Amino acid sequence: MAFKEYREWHSKCNLKIVAENLIKRGFKAKCFDDVNEAKNYILSMIPPNATVGVGGSVTIRELGIIEDLESRGNKVIHHWIKGLSSEDSYRIRMMEIGSDFFLSSCNAITVDGVIVNADSSGNRVAALAFGPKHVILVVGTNKIVYDLDMALWRIYNVAAPMNSRRLGVKVPCAEAGYCVDCDSIDCPVRIIEIIKRKPQAGDYHVILIDANLGF
């Protein structure tokens, strides 16, 4: 057995235990080895006439699923559009929350199946808690952490620095690569949401992929 195979085996074990624990918490969960296979599965879950809101998510953009949905006729609502006025951005975020399906990732997921997200304006965490009847969360193995402390560590020291750098905001973590606990108004971690069990309304699918995806 080559060394890589041990890594792959361990990664699959992690995905399997997370999926089992998510199911115990009321979520639907499914594991995939391959990004395209996962994407095709998600496309098969969404009717062609459904509206699809997309949260601020690098994972979803990396999947390339927005283009696939649009090309087959789905109305996709997302606010990562250059040059949007703040009024339009607000309006679109509200429409995302009212869509039939909502696609997003999370910032961390614990081995025992708790989903943790950080947000700055709050539209993504709002939609993940209430609004769209169907939530599909796409999660790569890089988001799996042992517990809530590790989830917070990951949010501040992995997700926040990369997102701040991507957005070009002048905060210390965008230079240092880790959180220095500053007081910047531009901190991307203004809200932290912990989803312990499936929210009562709607259905919730977590698609776990054996790949490094998003921040």
Residues that bind ligand SF4 (CB under 6 A): 156, 160, 164, 171-173, 179-182, 184, 187, 189
- Tell me the residue length of the chain: 215
How far apart (Å, rounded) are the C-alpha atoms in residues 78 and 83?
13
Nearer to ligand SF4, 42 or 189 (CB): 189
Position 23, amino acid: I
Nearest Cα residue to 179 out of 197, 203, 195, 162: 162
Nearer to ligand SF4, 140 or 188 (CB): 188
How far apart (Å, rounded) are the C-alpha atoms in residues 190 and 170?
16
Nearer to ligand SF4, 58 or 94 (CB): 58
| DSSP run (H or E) holding 139 | strand 134-140
Nearer to ligand SF4, 70 or 186 (CB): 186
**CB of 171 vs ligand SF4, minimal distance in Å:** 4
Nearest Cα residue to 89 out of 99, 79, 98, 100: 79
